Amino acid sequence: MDFAKLSSNEKLAVYGAVAAIIGAFLSFGGGGSFGILTGLAMLVIIFLPQFSPSTRLPGSKGSLMLVVGGLAALGALLALLAWLPYLGLFGGVFIGLLIGIAGQLLMGWAAWREFQSEGGKFNLGMASSASAPSPPAQSAPPPMTPPPPPAEPMQPPPPMAPPMGEPMEPRMSEPMGESPEGSAETGGDKPSEGSMGGG
């Protein structure tokens, strides 16, 4: 962590982040606990490139600082509005809250200045501020190949089977399991008179 490598806006944001974190602890989380989150996020955005040079932030440093600082400033204003009625009742807690709010507002102001120093372009995502090396230029375009011949047309589908002559469901006049041809050959369901043994 080298303060000498930080710009004046980044130093200002670090002071604001530290004040927001200390103020949140002094006020016992009374509306200023959001300052802990935004303060830590601001410190990560500022110091991560120093601790891990190979890690790329998901956007420019100024844009990320603007998002975190803007959230911190908005949270600070909302916390201030919520705590104004308790000014005389809880003096010590209110002083801690004011320190946290001042730190969050300072983070927002420093983030805005850093964003403006980068040109004011909002850049979030994986695009880095340094441009990627361009591919080597080709001297001549590659020769064009002729397009492939068109595919043969599809064959027509095979003809469908002819419709069945008989319907699939049994007729109501016939009992199930019996075909009309079978009853003529075997003589139907009635047993013959001689087969019963009766006379």
- Cβ neighbour number for residue 167 with a 10 Å cutoff: 7
Residue 171 clears pLDDT 80, i.e. is over it: no
For residue 98, give every residue at least 6 positions away whose Cβ sits within 8 Å of its Cβ, in sequence order, or none: 23, 80
How much is the pTM? 0.50
Give the pLDDT of residue 31.
Answer: 55
- pLDDT of 143 > 70? The answer is yes
Whole-number pLDDT of residue 135: 54
Check: CB of residue 54 under 8 Å from CB of residue 77: no
CB 58 within 8 A of CB 126: yes
Closest C-alpha to 104, from 16, 41, 189: 16
Q: Please give the mean pLDDT across all residues of the chain.
A: 75
Q: In the numeric block, which tokens belong to residue 60?
A: 């420019």
Q: What angle do CA 124, 129, 133 make, to 5 degrees?
A: 125
Question: In angstroms, rounded to a whole number, what is the distance separating the alpha carbons of residues 165 and 14?
Answer: 90
Residues of the chain with pLDDT > 90, as a percent, come to 1
